[in-house]
Amino acid sequence: MKKTLYTLISIFIILISIGIFYLSFIGLETSKFNNIISSEIKKKDSAITIELKKILIKFDLKEFQIYLSTSKPLITYQNIDIPIEEVNIYSKIIPLLKSKVEISQANFVIKNFELKQIQIAALRIKPSNFKTYLLNNLKQGKLNELVAIISLNNNYEIIDYKFNGSIEGVDVLLPKSHIVKDLNLNFAADKNLVLLNSINASYNGLKILNGSINLENKDEIFIKGKFDSKFNFNEQDINSFIKNKFFLENKIITKGNLVHNFNLNLDQNYKLIKYDYILNGNIEESKINFNKSLKNQFLKKSIKTIQFTKTKIDAQINNKNENKLILDGSYNADEGDFNKFKIESELNNKKYVVDFDVSENISIDFLNYTSDKNSKINVKSHFNFNNNDTNFKSISIHEGPNSIDINGLSINDKFEIKNLASVSVITFNEKKENNNFKINIKDKIIIGGSRFDATNLLKSINSQSKNNPLVNFTKEIEINLENLVTKSEIPINNFRLIGKIEKGKFINISAKSEFSKDKYLDISLKKDPNNKKILEIYSDVPKALLADYKFFEGLKDGKLFFNSVIDEEGSVSKITIENFKVVKAPAFATLLTLADLGGVADLLSGEGMSFDILEISLNENKDVTKIEEILALGSSISVIMDGYTEKKTGLISLSGTLVPAKTLNSLVSKIPVVGNILVGDKVGEGVFGVSFKMKGLPGDVKTTVNPVKTLTPRFITRALEKMKKN
């Protein structure tokens, strides 16, 4: 009996095992449950119609449940065919034996579901941010595959889920009409975690590669992501990121690759709590072709193109304001030599450190400094932006022994200096020190040092710049310089100046210095009762001050007196030089040769031609310098002339009369007989002198000469006045 019982139990176990094995690996095909499943689903949503093929009943050992499996059922929702490849519906065993389906889990696979069809099907979904984004921000593309595992309660409500799959070729509409195109990615998700990987897309020249994003939903929402990118931008692409006129006016290309890492923390209302974004990579090549060449008063030539190469980029932005940007690479201008550059920025407080080399020739006329074409200049600066101001903590320019260091400089958007703490300058010209001085600005402007090169000082002062960079300065000024270098190479020693600057302009000056023992320079500037400035200069060595003017080329010895009355409209000036010589003056010699005045021109190549006095009267405004009169009386020759020069074009126009001194002297001896003065004693008496005209642009002045027999009363009157005075 026991044996029979053991045998029956064994057979039962074997049959059960065979049944379980069969149901687990092969399954039992039936159509018995088709109508039951269809009707149950129809009860939950009448918009769903389902037509099942034969169902395979199988047993899941792991879940210890019976599940019903079918392939490619015909499911329609809102008249949209749902491309389901496979459905597995899990049911508890006991209710199923009673022909009652209690679905505990549903698994299904969807393939090749077009986005447009998904959007139509989603219209009946209850309103949510997801629905809004799905309908309004996603364009074309498809759900390539979706594998879903959904756990349900007795009321068919979702209590848990797991998804994985992929999307392909989706366009995503971003704010301000930006579009991310051809988005492809794989995804996996459950209630607490969303994983996105193999993210690829493109956006205006930017390709996103190998991206991944992890979203973890706990008390807060944690998002962690990483992706690579390659970019190849032109000016229109860049302008789509940064709206700026510069990128539209100039031709720009840039390409490279970047790696992006980011972390975001959000609360359950999707409010951003923490963030951290890290960027690093390489800019392989960038090139800017300027529509208008860059011109700068310090550069010898204008710049048409700038190219950057092999530039490393590192950036970080986070909620702790630990924001930075570093660019480190090489650049060149107009396909010249490549030079290093580095830019570091603290983005949150707009602080920058710029460090770069320059191989182009730099010239600072004010200091008579020109860089060596065979050496590189290093420029380094710390600065920040504050509203419309740029504040330079420091600027240092170094080239070999040459150095210019500026501290505490602040300029506004009109390039006017608002503040300046100090300047230190040491430069060399042809291996000789020509500048060594410091400027300190506190309550006063104090300038001191052993040497200042004033070679180009007058040219800088007379430049046509409309802007006065010192317009914000009203301070007293003191200057103490041991030596001033002039264009004439005549040094000015022990230069001392005290004065006052008001809105960037001198209103009061008292200055003294010496050329050598018993030879001095005095300068004074003051205001008269009518608020006009009166400038007076006395110099025992005129050549030191007049070397910039070609008119005075060849001048030697003498004393100079200068007086000028200056107002807002212009100035009225008078220059007087007494007891001087003219030596080796090419233009003057040419004029004399054309006049054919005996051997007078030869005097210019020897000891020089002596003059008792030279007077120049000028009337100057912003457009023209009018030469009211130039009168020169000498032992060999006398000249009177007038004319004008245009400031904008440089046009010169002069006309006058030139007479040998012996002719003038003979005329003076005949003063009682006025008729003889003007026409001579005899018909055909010799030529008195020449009249001349000089006109043209600098470097192309044309001179014409005509002999004269009659001198103008003006010439005679002015000559007699000076002779009588002397």
Longest dimension (CA), the chain: 181
Decide which of 294 and 597 is more confident. Answer: 294
Place of tokens 């730099």: 362
Ranges of H-type helices in 577-632: 586-595
Q: What's the CA gap between 437 and 497, in Å, rounded?
A: 15
Assess if residue 424 is contained within a domain. yes
Assess if residue 384 is contained within a domain. no
Tokens standing for residue 173: 């509409």
Residue 221 has pLDDT above 80, yes or no: yes
Assess if residue 413 is contained within a domain. yes
At 681 the pLDDT is 45
Contacts of 322 (CB under 8 A, 6+ apart): 316
DSSP 209: E
Same domain, 213 and 95: no
Residue 163 has pLDDT above 60, yes or no: yes
Ranges of H-type helices in 463-580: 543-546
Range scoring the smallest mean pLDDT among 161-175, 400-414, 627-641, 687-701: 687-701
Number of domains in the chain: 4
Per-residue pLDDT tens over the stretch 271-292? 889 999 999 999 998 998 888 8
Distance of CA 638 to the CA centre of its chain: 58
Q: What are the two backbone dihedrals, phi and then psi, of residue 53, each rounded to the nearest 5 degrees?
A: -85, -165
Same domain, 519 and 638: no
Q: Cβ-count burial of 586 within 10 angstroms (0-12 exposed, 13-18 middle, 19+ buried)?
A: exposed
**Of all residues in the chain, what percent carry a pLDDT higher than 70?**
76
At 638 the pLDDT is 79
Same domain, 487 and 635: no
Asked if 710 contacts 678 with a C-beta cutoff of 8 angstroms, the reply is yes
Residue 418 has pLDDT above 70, yes or no: yes
Same domain, 292 and 413: no
Same domain, 230 and 336: yes
Please say whether the dihedral angle defined by the alpha carbons of residues 270, 272, 275 and 281, taken in this order, is positive or negative: positive
Look at residues 532, 547, 562 and tell me which one is the last residue of a structural domain: 547
Look at residues 124, 152, 172 and tell me which one is the last residue of a structural domain: 124
Residue 234 has pLDDT above 50, yes or no: yes
Same domain, 450 and 529: yes
Range scoring the smallest mean pLDDT among 112-121, 568-577, 664-673: 664-673
Q: What's the CA gap between 707 and 660, in Å, rounded?
A: 12
Assess if residue 68 is contained within a domain. yes
262 residue type, one letter: F
Per-residue pLDDT tens over the stretch 462-514? 444 456 677 788 889 999 999 988 877 788 899 999 998 888 788 888 999 99
Query: pLDDT confidence of 206, banded at 50, 70, 90?
Result: confident
* DSSP of 257-268: EEEEEEEEEE-T
For 399-428, what is the mean pLDDT? 91
At 303 the pLDDT is 85
Decide which of 240 and 628 is more confident. Answer: 628
Same domain, 540 and 689: no
Going along 415-532, which residue ranges are E strands?
417-419, 422-429, 432-441, 444-453, 475-485, 492-502, 505-516, 519-527
Distance of CA 687 to the CA centre of its chain: 67
**CA-based angle 246:389:329, to the nearest 5?**
55
Residue 263 has pLDDT above 60, yes or no: yes
pTM of the full structure: 0.71
Same domain, 517 and 589: no
Which range marks the domain in which residue 589 is found?
Answer: 577-725
At 239 the pLDDT is 72
Assess if residue 658 is contained within a domain. yes
Look at residues 64, 99, 124 and tell me which one is the last residue of a structural domain: 124
Nearest Cα neighbor of 119 from 84, 150, 80 is: 80
At 186 the pLDDT is 95
Assess if residue 659 is contained within a domain. yes
Query: pLDDT confidence of 164, banded at 50, 70, 90?
Result: very high
Same domain, 203 and 347: yes
* DSSP of 162-184: EEEEEEEEEEEEPGGG-EEEEEE
Q: What's the CA gap between 100 and 171, in Å, rounded?
A: 45
Assess if residue 558 is contained within a domain. no
Asked if 57 contacts 24 with a C-beta cutoff of 8 angstroms, the reply is no
Query: pLDDT confidence of 597, banded at 50, 70, 90?
Result: very low
Best mean pLDDT range from 9-23, 303-317, 621-635: 303-317
For 555-561, what is the mean pLDDT? 86
At 182 the pLDDT is 93
* DSSP of 623-689: SEEEEEEEEEEESSEEEEEEEEEETTT--EEEEEEEEEHHHHHHHHTTTT-HHHHHH-SSTTPPP-E
Range scoring the smallest mean pLDDT among 82-86, 507-511, 543-547, 684-688: 684-688
The shares of helix, strand and coil residues in the chain, as percent rounded to the nearest 5, are 20, 55, 25
Decide which of 487 and 94 is more confident. Answer: 487
For 42-51, what is the mean pLDDT? 68
At 690 the pLDDT is 76
Residue 674 has pLDDT above 90, yes or no: no
At 662 the pLDDT is 47
Distance of CA 501 to the CA centre of its chain: 32
Assess if residue 554 is contained within a domain. no
Same domain, 330 and 455: no
Residue 107 has pLDDT above 70, yes or no: yes
Q: Please state, rounded to an integer, the average pLDDT across all residues of the chain.
A: 79
Per-residue pLDDT tens over the stretch 322-367? 889 999 999 998 888 899 999 999 877 788 999 999 888 888 877 8
Same domain, 198 and 347: yes
Same domain, 402 and 292: no
At 389 the pLDDT is 87
